[in-house]
Amino acid sequence: MLRYLARRAANALVLALAATCLGYVLASVALDPLVRFRGNNPPVPDEQIRHALAITGTDPNTPLASRLWSWLSGLAHGSLGTSVDNRPVTSEIAERAGTSLQLLVLGTVLGVGLGVLVGVVGAVRQHRWFDRVTTQGSFVVLATPTFVVAVLLMVGATRLNEAAGRQVIRFTGQYTPGHEGWAAVTDRASHLVLPTLALVIGLVAAFSRYQRAAMLDVLGTDLVRGARAMGHTQRSALVRHGVRVAMVPMSTLAVYTAGMVLAGATITELAFSWHGMGEYLLLAAQRGDVNAAAGTVACTAVLVLVLGMVADVLYAWLDPRVRL
């Protein structure tokens, strides 16, 4: 097990490094660090521009390779450089990652868990009403962009608040300023409801479909019947020999799935105007902030790989054929 994990981790490390370099190069090529100095009247003095570019290390006249090298050596010392507003990117990302992870973890656990459950029940009761409703429901949800789901939820919440005559659910930003103690906790929880719901709806739709298909494959084999013959109850046969085996095929796409979940969370977060990683990247792209963009991409790559590895280990643990 440890050797397998070590090999996976080494592989992930190489990929993370490559993705980080790719992110920096792309950011340097696609973003224009001079964009915020343009169109000023009176024009910003050259001296000042050069000074600002020197601080962020994004002077286009320096060769890209040496810019990348100095950024990477900064990274080796735990620094992602300085953003255009003279703040260390590392601390800004640490702040925003907390916000993003809150939604990501809550949404993923609920979404994947419920999705698997819905898929399994749908497969076991194939063609019954529950299966029909969830299959068609997830079909429509998968055809609906996440931000539309978010807007629909916000409209619903507005109606609810109007009907109740007070703010039952709050949904702009992560919290209302000015609350303290217990009130701050409930306020944050209230702000979490809709974004979590938006993310969970999409994830349940996606995962229930995978899980239903995989579960139907397993039900077609003699695994469950064999377990029944061995004296398991129907429920225990389904869970231990059906669901467990049905979850295995999803492992091949663990990294891809992790990326998908992360993108979903980012879009949800943006739709509810949270100050998370997605907003940071969007701002960076608009302001020509190379360091902020590269830092965000690097952190995302690491997060995707970590999520992928967690999923990998979970699946390996599920699959009785894998001996690590």
Partner 1 sequence: MTTTNDVRPLLASVIRPSGGVWSRVLTSRQAWVGATMLLTLALWALVGPALHPWDATYVDLAAFGQGPSTRHWFGTNDIGQDVYAQVLVGLRKSLLVGLVAAPVATGLAAVVGAVAGLAGGWVDRALMAAVDLMLVIPAFYLLVLCSPVLARAGWPALALAIAALMWMVMARVVRGQTRSLRERGFVRAACFSGAPLWWVAVRHVWPNLASLLVADVTVGVGTAVLMEATMSYFGIGVRVPDVSLGTLLAAGGPAAATRPWLFFFPALALVVAVCAVSLVGDAVRDAIDAGGARG
Distance CA 253, CA 89 (A): 31
Helix (H, G, I), strand (E, B) or coil at 40: coil
Q: Is the peptide bond before 42 cis (omega within 30 degrees of 0)?
A: yes
Q: In Å, how far are 31, 82, 101, 165, 205 from 74, measured between CA atoms?
A: 20, 10, 25, 54, 42
> DSSP letters along 272-319, please?
TT--SHHHHHHHHHHHT-HHHHHHHHHHHHHHHHHHHHHHHHHHHHH-
Interface residue with partner 1, options 10, 30, 54, 94 (CB under 8 A): 30
User: Cα(first)–Cα(last) distance of the chain, in Å?
Assistant: 4
Binding mask 177-216 for partner 1 (x = CB under 8 A): ---------------------------------------x
CA dihedral over 308, 313, 318, 320, signed as positive or negative: positive
In the complex with partner 1, which residue's Cβ is closer, 57 or 259? 259
In the complex with partner 1, which residue's Cβ is closer, 184 or 302? 302
Binding mask 229-268 for partner 1 (x = CB under 8 A): ------------------------x-xx--xx-xx--xx-
Interface residue with partner 1, options 4, 130, 147, 175 (CB under 8 A): 147
68 contacts partner 1 (rule: CB under 8 A): no
Q: Which stretch binds partner 1 (CB under 8 A): 10-18, 81-89, 95-103, 182-190?
A: 10-18
Helix (H, G, I), strand (E, B) or coil at 201: helix
293 contacts partner 1 (rule: CB under 8 A): yes
23 contacts partner 1 (rule: CB under 8 A): yes
* Closest distance of CB 152 from partner 1, Å: 8
CA dihedral over 176, 297, 86, 43, signed as positive or negative: negative
CA dihedral over 145, 147, 148, 154, signed as positive or negative: positive
| Chain center to CA of 207 | 15
Binding mask 262-281 for partner 1 (x = CB under 8 A): xx--xx--x-------x--x
313 contacts partner 1 (rule: CB under 8 A): no
Q: Which stretch binds partner 1 (CB under 8 A): 1-9, 80-88, 225-233, 286-294?
A: 286-294
Token pair of 252, please? 């091949």
296 contacts partner 1 (rule: CB under 8 A): yes
Q: Footprint of partner 1 on this chain (CB under 8 A)?
A: 15-16, 18-19, 22-23, 26-27, 29-32, 35, 139-140, 142-148, 151-152, 154-155, 158-159, 216-221, 253, 255-256, 259-260, 262-263, 266-267, 270, 278, 281-282, 285-286, 288, 293, 296-297, 300-301, 304-305
